[in-house]
Structure 1
């Protein structure tokens, strides 16, 4: 996702805060069953190298888990938090699985 309007619309969806990120899931209700991903990491987190590293980690998580566990026809937004860059990848993965399961219920 690249449009600001899509990110703002996702703010009205469900929110799940984890130590490394915040997950927003917004059901589009447009009849399209694709799962879309948006990633936001602000400058408060760090410089460009740190932000890009965090985005790469989020993309890897989403590529692995969203096809099976993501909500069909929904936008999934990952917002990076300050503790996310130091967290172990396995811990981030476990948190993402936990957040997706909670939002699905």
Structure 2
């Protein structure tokens, strides 16, 4: 998504609790900008993960450049779309490896 990257990994244990992590690199901006982006990501997670998140999984939201300037409604729609996309692939959103197959 343009404002963030969402990573979801099923822990495959008996604990149904969702865990959430946030990260914003220094490439995004100074501490004020990074903290502002993390606050926006936390607000999104509080709002959407209880209903659309995946139980027993770790969710990591990585802030991208330009995420601070994006409209909050757009970020919400993007996270909803990303969680729905992950929901279609419940095996931890694994993809086939890229590149040439190893021999």
Query: Shared fold (TM-score greater than 0.5)?
Result: yes
TM-score of the superposition, structure 2-length normalised? 0.84
Gaps of 5+ in 1: 1-17
| Pair 1:39 & 2:26 matched | no
TM-score of the superposition, structure 1-length normalised? 0.83
Q: Pick the aligned partner of 1:48 from 13, 31, 35.
A: 31
Count of matched residue positions in the alignment of Structure 1 and Structure 2: 88
State the Cα RMSD in Å. Answer: 0.5
- Stretches of 4+ aligned residues off by more than 3 angstroms: none
Gaps of 5+ in 2: 89-103
Aligned 1:70-81 pairs, distance under 5 A = 70-81=53-64
Aligned 1:1-105 pairs, distance under 5 A = 18-105=1-88
Relative to total residues, which structure has the larger helix share, 1 or 2? 1
Larger Rg: 2
